[in-house]
Amino acid sequence: MKYYIFLVLAVLFWSGNFITGRYISTSIEPMQLSFYRWFFVLVLLLPYIFINYKDLILGFKKDSLLLVVFGAFGIAGFNTFLYYGLQTTSATNALLINSSTPIFIILISSIIFRIAITKIQILGVLLSTLGVLYLILKGDINHILELNFTPGDLWILLAALDWAIYSVLLKFKPKDLSSFSFLTITSFIGVMILYIAFILQGYSLEFSFLSNKEVLYSLIYIVIFPSILSFYFWNMATIEIGANKAGQSAHLMPIFGAILAYIFLGEVLEFYHIVGIVLIAIGIYLTMFFKKVK
């Protein structure tokens, strides 16, 4: 049960990442936000690195290529694509498109591991996706005409595909590496990749943007919760219960978005919120917990 709690917490924190990423999108460039996010994560991890550097180096040497792949997809790729997308698309569109992640995960799993897709899984994905659409459209199909898609939506779609690949590949995580050591090594690799891209795009290492309190406070949240805690929780849970089931938790994001808006922004919970939440809950139950009686 604890791994399902970890999934819920990971998705809850990531829901806030979508909101804060969009909130400060005009104050900091996507590449800067992605790089400094993980740069400061690495700073916080320095005590752990200092104490365990021998084991970390040994762990990297044993599975260097695989860990580079994890660092490229999980740390460098996903977040950068997401922040580029949030520059030109709404958080609503981003959450809608991100809901394709569970579908990508199931498809990729079936291709790589030949995992059969059951009818119950298909029904669960369809129901939870329908619940997401119902939330986004506010219970009125006519609202679909109000959705304006931008080039940023393609970045979000790429981020969803990237994350699906990362989640599926977690099955190959080196077993002798603890979850925290795995996070530390992949974070270091991700920062190195991001730094190369950062320099190639003409940026230099400076911290004047931290004088903007909105950026500073948002970055503190992003570094601690969606980065260190969410990745730690997601990695552990996905390895234990499988990518197909874990991926369904992405459909919780619109629910958390509605709840957070109710708590912090004073927005009213409408009937369509309840309908959408129920559909998503049933879909997740069928995909993650339902067992066919023999």
Gap between the Cα atoms of 139 and 161, Å rounded: 27
Give the closest residue to 158 by CA, choosing from 74, 231, 88, 78: 78
pLDDT digits (tens, 9 = 90+) for 150-197: 677 789 889 989 999 999 999 899 988 998 999 999 999 999 999 999
- pLDDT mean over 132-149: 69
Of 20-34, 165-179, 216-230, the poorest mean pLDDT is in 20-34
Residue 274: its pLDDT value, please? 75
Residue 214 near residue 22 (C-beta atoms within 8 A) = no
Cβ burial, residue 208 (10 Å; 0-12/13-18/19+): exposed
CA atoms within 13 A on the CB side of 268: 4
In sequence order, what DSSP letters do the residues of 200-212 get, joined into one string?
A: HTT-----GGGGS
More confident residue, 95 or 124: 124
Q: Which residues contact 185 (CB under 8 A, 6 or more apart)?
A: 56, 59, 60, 67, 71, 177
- pLDDT mean over 134-145: 70
Residue 134 near residue 279 (C-beta atoms within 8 A) = yes
Gap between the Cα atoms of 232 and 201, Å rounded: 30
pLDDT digits (tens, 9 = 90+) for 68-87: 999 999 999 998 998 898 88
Band (pLDDT 50/70/90 cuts) for residue 277 is confident
Gap between the Cα atoms of 5 and 230, Å rounded: 11
Residue 75: its pLDDT value, please? 94
SS3 100: coil
- pLDDT mean over 27-54: 93
pLDDT exceeds 80 at position 133: no
pLDDT exceeds 90 at position 19: no
Retrieve residue 241's tokens: 């219960």
Band (pLDDT 50/70/90 cuts) for residue 287 is low
Gap between the Cα atoms of 101 and 247, Å rounded: 7
pLDDT exceeds 50 at position 20: yes
Residue 235 near residue 163 (C-beta atoms within 8 A) = no
CA atoms within 13 A on the CB side of 208: 3
In sequence order, what DSSP letters do the residues of 124-160 get, joined into one string?
A: HHHHHHHHHHHHHTTT-GGGGGG----HHHHHHHHHH
Q: What is the mean pLDDT of the chain?
A: 83
pLDDT exceeds 50 at position 293: no
Cβ burial, residue 88 (10 Å; 0-12/13-18/19+): middle
Residue 57: CB atoms within 10 A of its CB come to 12
Gap between the Cα atoms of 186 and 178, Å rounded: 12
More confident residue, 198 or 102: 198
- pTM, entire model: 0.81
CA dihedral in degrees (76, 81, 87, 89; nearest 10)?
-150
Residue 96 near residue 157 (C-beta atoms within 8 A) = no
Residue 153: its pLDDT value, please? 78
Gap between the Cα atoms of 169 and 164, Å rounded: 9
pLDDT digits (tens, 9 = 90+) for 226-269: 999 999 999 998 888 887 778 777 777 777 766 766 676 565 66
